[in-house]
């Protein structure tokens, strides 16, 4: 799934196969970004939203698979503290970063976050993927 | 013409009817069924008043061949099949085949009434069993051996499952008989999703599955039935729970689709990290009695009606359903509901999907 077919084509891509292949070859984050691109090209494709949600769901599931579960305490990474200009954070990610103090665990962050539980965890997983935070 | 001679021999009514509702040609069976003058109901079927049009006009408006519809004609039910467009008359015309399905529908109605009665009779004693189990398990002073407590809890779970199956059968019989009536009122979708998640949170915890909300509070309202939409979401989450292993995740989300600044529709997703559905089975799961070949991880089968009921509820709200699934990765059930004006209230009825 390294490129998205033209939306002018009336043939709907075989999302299940494309997404499964992409997952195997490139992993969840690459697949997620490609699906986001595809959403722009196929805005009315309802099943495409479903595939995007499957990938987001797996990202959050993997994040929750931490041995400490919701008791895990995220910390800001050294790289973020010394070179935070490199990180191009969204407003939601920026707000969550402001909550991370090295003491609050995921359970407490979920309570303090103004966003829904899933969005909070997804953003934290993204921050971890981008190495802005670590979850030891 | 040979075609006309063949049609004259057929015992099913066939006629060529023009856009004004005039019969251009009919076979003897048509005349036997509807009499020599079928003008009254044909005029009604061909009327166009304002934005409304009679069923006959649909065959002219949509322009596709081999479509069918089911109509009431003089107290009887007919399945009308569009055979072809006919352009040899001054006014556009269509050749229609009429099949009397009155007896078939009456039998279905009788079957549906019988099912509804049986289901109703089963619910009473089962409610009594559930109440008794709940009472015994809620008595803090009762010193029950842990083995008996486990057994009673198991009995409670099974009775809940049985009640779920009975309710599905009841809804199904109502859909089949056309009496699955829903209120049309402004519905806060965020509230519906929250209620559905809350009602299954305990079950998810027991099964060691994460169940998370994935929507904000700013989801617009839709017009429909709070009760039925909640039931649809509960059905979807319950279904996901059956196929999601321990430490898995189910998320219930909602996204607003806008046309410029105006909310146009809401897309609700119930997504799990379960075993997924085989590609060959994906398109069948919304049909009645169809279940995926996967075995439930929590034991016990279903009626195969849960997702069919969801589809009927969603379609009665003017929405659509679809499913995305990757074997071994997960499944996402997707519902799209139109955002309508709050003035559009009243009553809607779920109709079974023909064919």
The reply to whether B228 touches chain A by the CB within 8 Å rule is no
CA distances from A72 to A57, A101, B18, B247 (A): 19, 13, 73, 15
**Is B271 exposed, middle or buried (CB count within 10 Å of its CB: 0-12, 13-18, 19+)?**
buried
At A47, list the tokens.
């099943």
Using a CB-CB cut-off of 8 Å, the residues of chain A touching B253 are 53, 118
Q: Which residue has the tokens 């802005």?
A: A132
- Phi/psi-derived region of residue B27, left when phi > 0, alpha when psi is between -120 and 50, beta in every other case: beta
What global pTM score does this model have? 0.71
Dihedral pair phi/psi, residue B224, rounded to 5°: 170, -150
Complex ipTM more than 0.90, yes or no = no
Sequence-ordered strand ranges (E) for chain A: 75-76, 133-134
**Nearest neighbour of A57 by CB, restricted to B213, B271, B322:** B271
Q: Provide the residue-wise pLDDT of chain B in tens; the chain has 355 residues.
A: 677 778 778 888 999 998 888 888 888 899 888 887 667 788 888 887 777 778 888 888 765 555 888 888 888 899 999 888 888 888 889 899 999 999 988 888 888 788 878 888 888 889 999 999 888 888 876 677 888 888 888 888 888 878 888 888 888 877 877 777 777 889 999 999 999 999 889 889 888 899 998 887 778 889 988 888 998 999 999 889 988 998 999 999 999 988 888 888 999 999 999 988 888 788 788 877 666 666 665 555 666 788 888 998 999 899 999 999 999 899 999 999 998 765 555 556 555 543 3
Contact B212, B272 (CB under 8 A): no
User: What is the C-alpha separation between B329 and A106, in angstroms, rounded?
Assistant: 25
Q: CB distance from B255 to chain A under 8 Å?
A: yes
A20: contact with B, CB 8 A cutoff:
yes
Q: Where are the beta strands (DSSP E) in chain B?
A: 14-18, 23-26, 48-49, 52-53, 68-73, 76-86, 93-100, 180-188, 210-214, 221-224, 249-259, 262-272, 320-326, 330-338, 346-350
């Amino acid at each position: 799934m390294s490129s998205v077919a033209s939306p002018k084509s009336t043939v709907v891509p075989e999302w299940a196969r494309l997404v499964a292949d992409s997952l195997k070859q490139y992993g969840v984050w690459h697949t997620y970004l490609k699906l986001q691109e595809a959403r722009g090209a196929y805005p009315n494709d309802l099943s495409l939203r479903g595939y995007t949600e499957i990938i987001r769901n797996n990202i959050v599931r993997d994040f929750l698979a931490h041995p400490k579960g919701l008791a895990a305490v995220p910390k800001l990474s050294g790289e973020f503290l010394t070179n935070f200009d490199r990180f191009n954070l969204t407003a939601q990610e920026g707000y969550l970063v402001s909550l991370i103090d090295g003491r609050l665990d995921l359970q407490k962050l979920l309570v303090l976050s103004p966003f829904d539980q899933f969005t909070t965890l997804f953003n934290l997983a993204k921050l971890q993927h981008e190495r802005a935070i670590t979850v030891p | 013409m040979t075609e006309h001679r063949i049609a004259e021999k057929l015992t099913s009514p066939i006629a060529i009817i023009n856009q004004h509702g005039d019969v251009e040609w009919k076979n003897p069976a048509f005349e036997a069924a509807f009499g020599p003058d079928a003008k009254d109901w044909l005029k009604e079927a061909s009327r166009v008043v304002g934005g409304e049009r009679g069923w006959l006009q649909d065959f002219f408006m949509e322009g596709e061949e081999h479509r069918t519809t089911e109509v009431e004609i003089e107290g009887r039910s007919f399945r009308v099949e569009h055979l072809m467009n006919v352009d040899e008359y001054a006014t556009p015309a269509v050749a229609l085949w009429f099949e009397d399905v009155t007896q078939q529908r009456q039998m279905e109605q009788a079957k549906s009434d019988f099912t509804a009665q049986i289901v109703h009779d089963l619910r009473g004693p089962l409610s009594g069993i559930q109440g008794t189990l709940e009472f015994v398990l809620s008595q803090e002073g009762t010193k029950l051996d842990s083995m008996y407590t486990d057994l009673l809890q198991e009995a409670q779970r099974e009775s809940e499952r049985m009640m779920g199956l009975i309710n599905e059968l009841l809804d199904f019989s109502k859909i089949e008989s056309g009496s699955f009536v829903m209120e049309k009122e402004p519905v806060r979708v965020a509230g519906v999703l929250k209620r559905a998640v809350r009602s299954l949170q305990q079950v998810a915890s027991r099964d060691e599955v994460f169940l998370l909300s994935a929507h904000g509070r700013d989801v617009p309202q839709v017009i429909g039935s709070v009760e039925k939409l909640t039931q649809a979401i509960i059905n979807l989450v319950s279904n996901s729970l059956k196929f999601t292993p321990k430490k898995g995740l189910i998320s219930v989300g909602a996204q607003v689709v806008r046309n410029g600044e105006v909310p146009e529709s809401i897309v609700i997703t119930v997504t799990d990290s379960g075993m997924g559905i085989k590609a060959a089975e994906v398109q069948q799961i919304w049909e009645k009695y169809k279940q995926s070949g996967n075995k439930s991880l929590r034991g016990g089968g279903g009626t195969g009606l849960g997702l069919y009921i969801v589809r009927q509820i969603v379609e009665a709200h003017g929405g659509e359903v679809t499913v995305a699934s990757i074997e071994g990765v997960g499944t996402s059930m997707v519902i799209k509901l139109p955002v309508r004006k709050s003035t559009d209230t009243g009553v809607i009825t779920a109709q079974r999907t023909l064919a």
